């Protein structure tokens, strides 16, 4: 699903150039759960933004689902993102002025799904995340754990090929964090491909493979034997 070759990303100011990613080559197969780890500033979020087509690399190749997308324009990247990519963020990124139902419905509006189908799909997604009883509430009326459930429902409702999760438990206590990781595990076991950035060794143990970044480079990759045994 994902193949990057010598991916580089640099940021320039008038006085200095910072190399955030340095020749990153990464393969992610369909129906794989990969955790990307490393210290702050190592390039994790930069890599996730490029893989999620929110940014472009300075150089190198990025093939997503068979398409070379590294040099795509913003409009081309937007077209690929629709329906193919689902995002789960640490800060939830829900729209405060929309209800839970409306937040989850939003990707289907962009995809021009008919109204009758939208309602069924939204309620199904909310029920799956055990948050259906909050459909008419607004995000600020929910706990952090409930908001993240809504965010996951929004991410998965278009049936994306890839789910990108950026520190999905970072703002949650351990109980709610475990619930979110169990939800991501269920999605993976049902066939989803998940790429997760995390600082948490605990959360990384839910992944099938762990990739460690340091100074913008992949320094180690390992298969999670415990996860493989559980499967």
Per-residue pLDDT tens digits for 84-120: 999 998 889 999 999 999 999 999 998 999 998 999 9
Is 73 part of a structural domain of the chain? no
For range 156-172, the mean pLDDT = 91
Q: What is the mean pLDDT of the chain?
A: 91
Phi, psi at residue 130, to the nearest 5°? 60, 45
pLDDT confidence tier of residue 226, bands split at 50, 70 and 90: low
Is 69 part of a structural domain of the chain? no
Is 13 part of a structural domain of the chain? no
Domain of residue 214, CATH code? 3.40.50.300
Residue with tokens 């009883």: 133
What does the alpha-carbon distance between residue 208 and residue 58 come to, in Å, rounded to a whole number?
Answer: 29
Q: Which secondary-structure segment (H or E) carries 189?
A: helix 174-189
Digit-coded pLDDT (tens) for 111-155:
999 998 999 999 999 998 889 999 999 999 999 999 999 999 999
What does the alpha-carbon distance between residue 4 and residue 150 come to, in Å, rounded to a whole number?
Answer: 31
Could you tell me the two tokens for 67? 């398409």
Q: How many CB atoms lie within 10 A of CB 223?
A: 11
Indicate whether 158 pLDDT > 50.
yes
Is 131 part of a structural domain of the chain? yes
Domain holding 158, by residue range, is 28-57+83-230
Is 14 part of a structural domain of the chain? no
Is 65 part of a structural domain of the chain? no
- Count of structural domains within the chain: 1
pLDDT of residue 104: 96
Q: Percent of the chain beyond pLDDT 70?
A: 97
* 224 three-state secondary structure: coil
Is 74 part of a structural domain of the chain? no
Is 220 part of a structural domain of the chain? yes
Q: Which of 149, 102, 94 is nearest to 126 (CA)?
A: 149
Indicate whether 64 pLDDT > 90.
yes
């Amino acid at each position: 699903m994902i193949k990057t070759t010598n991916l580089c990303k640099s940021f320039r100011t008038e006085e200095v150039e910072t190399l955030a990613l340095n020749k990153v080559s990464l393969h992610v197969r369909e129906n794989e759960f990969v955790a990307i780890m490393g210290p702050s500033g190592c390039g994790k979020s930069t890599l996730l933004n490029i893989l999620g087509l929110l940014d472009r690399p300075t150089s190198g190749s990025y093939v997503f689902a068979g398409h070379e997308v590294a040099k795509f324009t913003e409009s081309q990247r937007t077209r690929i993102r629709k329906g193919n990519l689902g995002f789960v963020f640490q800060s939830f990124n829900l729209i405060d002025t929309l209800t839970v139902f409306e937040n989850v419905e939003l990707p289907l509006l962009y995809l021009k799904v008919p109204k009758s189908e939208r309602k069924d799909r939204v309620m199904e997604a909310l029920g799956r995340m055990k948050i259906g009883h909050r459909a008419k509430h607004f995000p600020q009326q929910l706990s952090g754990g409930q908001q993240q459930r809504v965010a996951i429902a929004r991410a998965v409702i278009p049936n994306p090929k890839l789910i990108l999760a950026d520190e999905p438990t970072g703002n949650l206590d351990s109980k709610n964090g475990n619930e979110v990781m169990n939800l991501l595990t269920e999605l993976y076991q049902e066939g989803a491909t998940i790429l997760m950035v995390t600082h948490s060794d605990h959360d990384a143990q839910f992944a099938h493979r762990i990739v460690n970044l340091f100074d913008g480079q992949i320094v180690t990759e390992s298969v999670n034997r415990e996860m493989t045994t559980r499967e």
